[in-house]
C-alpha cells in the first residue's frame, strides 16, 4: 500500500508511474489527497477542542479546591459542549480515514524507474538467454502424451476425482515431484534460506497483508464457512509471519523458504496453451522470501534472480530472463524478472518463476518494520520468488529429455530420484 504522505508530496510522479503501470483510475489520487486534507483539518480541530476540554477539566478541579462551586458548575456546562464536539469530530475523522483507506488499497505499487514501457506480455523485454535449445526428432511428442505413454501423470483420473487442472502423479511421476521438491529445498538451504512449513490456508488479514486482497478474490479458492482462503503461493503465509513485527536492523536480511501446494482458480483460462501441466489449479512450488534493508533490496533482487537461474542451469534447462513491462507486472510489484524455460516439443517458452521486489508496498500493509540505529521504526522491503514452480519444470524436463529409450533424468536429480530413466 502506498503511503499517503508520499502521494501528497509527489502527486505528479505518482500519477505518471501509475499510468506507466497501465492503471486507469488515476482520479483516485486526487480523491485521496483531498480526503487527506480534510482528515488533517478535522484532526487539527479535534486536537484543539480536546485541548480546550482538558484545560476546562483542570480549571474545574482548581475551582472546586478553591471552594468556587458556582464558577466550577458554569465551566462544567461548557465542558459538556466540548465533549459533544470531540465525539462528533471523532466520528467524522473515523469516517474520513475509512474512506481514504478504501481508496488507498485500490492503488497498485509504483513501478521502478528501470521498468520498460508496455501494456501486455508482448512488451516484456528479454534480458538474457542461456543454454542450447534441444533439437528433437520429428517423432517427439508433448509432455501430456509422454505422461500417458509412461503412465506417470493421469489427467483424466484427476478430472474424475476433482476436476480439470488437478492431475494425479503416479509411480516415477510422483517420485520426480518429490525429488524436485527436495532438490529445491536443499539448494535453498545451501543458499542460506531457513525452511518453514506454514499453513496452506490463510485469513483475510493475511491476504490483505501481501496484496492478494482486495485485488485477487476471484482467483483464490474460498472456504466460506470459515472465511479462509487456500494459498495461491507460499509467499503469503511466509511474509505474514512478520505482520505487526518490528525487527532489529541487525536481524536483516531475513531469508525464508517453504514448500507448499498452491491453489489458483485461474478463472477464464482456456485453450491449447493451458493443456497438460501448462496451467493447473493445484501445483507444488518452493518459494523464497526475503525481508531486507531498503538500501539493499535491488542488490538482493539481482542475487535472487541469479539464484533461480542457477537452479535452471543445474537442471540443464534452456531458459531466458524477462524484464516485465509496466502493464504486465503484478499489483504489488515494483520490479519483476520472469524466468521462462524452453519446452522443446511444444516449441514455446513457459514461465517457471517470477522474482519481485515489492519495496515497502507489502510492509506498509503488514506494518512490518525494522528499528534502525536512530531508534525510529522504518518500513522494511520485501521480496519473493519461485524457486521453483514444479508443473512447467516437469513439462520441460519430460519434453526436452525424451529419447527413443525413454526420458533421461538430469544428473543433478538422480541422487533424489534414485533412477536415471523413465521408460
Annotated binding site for L-serine: 233, 264, 287, 384
Please tell me the distance from the alpha carbon of residue 189 to that of residue 326, in angstroms, as a whole number: 33
Secondary structure class of 140 (helix, strand, coil) = coil
Omega into 214 within 30° of 0, i.e. cis? Answer: yes
Listed residue (195, 185, 201) closest to 237, CA to CA: 201
Beta strands in 252-404 (DSSP E): 254-263, 282-292, 319-323, 335-343, 348-357, 369-371, 377-379, 381-389, 402-403
- Phi/psi-derived region of residue 132, left when phi > 0, alpha when psi is between -120 and 50, beta in every other case: beta
Interior angle at CA 316, CA 328 and CA 302, nearest 5:
45
Whether 202 and 228 have beta carbons less than 8 Å apart is answered as yes
For residue 72, count CB atoms less than 10 angstroms from its CB and return exposed for 0-12, middle for 13-18, buried for 19 or more: middle
Max CA distance (Å), the chain:
107
- The C-alpha cell of 12 is what? 505528479
Radius of gyration of the chain (CA): 27
Annotated binding-site ranges:
233, 264-266, 287, 351-354, 384
Closest C-alpha to 105, from 21, 1, 244, 243: 1
Asked whether the beta carbons of 109 and 359 are under 8 A apart, the reply is: yes
| Inter-residue contact 125 to 323 (CB < 8 Å) | yes
CA distance 34 to 365: 22
Binding site listing for ATP: 264-266, 351-354
Q: Give CA–CA dist 147/154, Å, rounded.
A: 7
Q: Is the dihedral of CA 248, 253, 257, 262 positive or negative?
A: positive
CA distance 21 to 341: 26
229 DSSP β-pair partners? 202, 222
The dihedrals phi and psi of 39, each to the nearest 5 degrees, come to -65, -45
User: Which grid coordinates are listed for 188?
Assistant: 535453498
Q: DSSP letters along 323-336, please?
A: E--GGGS-SS-SEE
Amino acid at each position: 500500500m502506498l503511503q499517503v504522505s508520499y502521494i501528497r508530496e509527489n502527486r505528479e510522479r505518482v500519477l505518471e508511474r501509475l499510468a506507466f503501470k497501465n492503471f486507469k483510475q488515476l482520479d483516485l489520487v486526487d480523491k485521496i489527497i483531498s480526503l487527506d486534507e480534510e482528515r488533517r483539518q478535522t484532526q487539527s480541530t479535534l486536537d484543539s477542542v480536546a485541548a480546550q476540554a482538558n484545560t476546562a477539566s483542570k480549571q474545574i478541579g482548581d475551582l472546586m479546591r478553591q471552594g468556587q462551586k458556582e464558577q466550577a458548575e458554569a465551566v462544567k456546562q461548557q465542558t459538556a459542549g466540548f465533549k459533544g464536539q470531540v465525539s462528533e469530530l471523532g466520528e467524522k475523522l473515523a469516517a474520513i480515514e475509512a474512506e481514504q483507506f478504501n481508496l488507498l488499497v485500490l492503488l497498485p505499487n509504483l513501478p521502478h524507474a528501470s521498468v520498460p514501457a508496455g501494456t501486455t506480455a508482448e512488451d516484456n523485454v528479454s534480458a538474457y538467454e542461456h543454454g542450447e535449445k534441444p533439437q528433437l526428432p520429428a517423432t517427439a511428442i508433448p509432455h501430456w502424451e509422454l505422461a500417458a505413454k509412461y503412465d506417470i501423470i493421469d489427467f483424466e483420473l484427476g478430472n474424475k476425482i476433482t476436476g480439470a487442472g488437478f492431475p494425479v502423479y503416479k509411480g516415477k511421476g510422483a517420485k520426480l515431484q518429490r525429488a524436485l521438491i527436495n532438490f529445491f529445498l536443499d539448494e535453498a538451504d545451501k543458499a542460506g534460506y531457513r525452511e518453514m512449513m506454514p499453513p496452506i490456508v490463510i485469513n483475510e488479514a493475511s491476504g490483505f497483508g501481501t496484496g492478494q486482497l482486495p485485488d485477487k478474490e476471484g482467483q483464490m479458492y474460498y472456504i466460506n464457512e470459515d472465511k479462509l482462503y487456500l494459498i495461491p503461493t507460499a509467499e503469503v503465509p511466509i511474509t505474514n509471519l512478520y505482520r505487526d513485527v518490528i525487527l532489529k536492523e541487525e536481524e536483516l536480511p531475513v531469508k525464508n523458504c517453504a514448500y507448499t501446494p498452491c491453489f489458483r482458480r485461474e478463472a477464464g483460462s482456456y485453450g491449447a496453451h493451458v493443456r497438460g501441466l501448462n496451467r493447473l489449479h493445484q501445483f507444488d512450488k518452493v518459494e523464497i522470501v526475503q525481508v531486507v534493508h531498503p538500501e539493499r533490496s535491488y542488490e538482493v533482487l539481482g542475487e535472487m534472480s541469479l539464484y533461480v537461474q542457477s537452479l535452471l542451469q543445474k537442471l540443464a534447462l534452456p531458459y531466458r530472463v524477462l524484464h516485465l513491462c509496466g502493464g504486465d507486472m503484478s499489483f504489488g510489484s515494483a520490479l519483476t524478472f520472469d524466468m521462462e524455460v524452453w519446452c522443446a516439443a511444444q516449441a514455446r517458452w513457459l514461465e517457471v518463476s517470477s522474482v519481485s521486489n515489492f519495496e515497502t508496498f507489502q510492509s506498509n500493509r503488514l506494518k512490518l518494520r525494522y528499528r534502525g540505529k536512530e531508534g525510529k521504526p522504518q518500513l522494511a522491503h520485501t521480496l519473493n520468488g519461485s524457486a521453483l514452480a514444479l508443473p512447467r519444470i516437469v513439462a520441460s524436463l519430460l519434453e526436452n529429455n525424451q529419447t527413443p529409450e525413454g526420458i533421461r533424468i538430469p544428473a543433478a536429480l538422480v541422487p533424489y530420484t534414485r533412477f536415471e530413466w523413465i521408460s
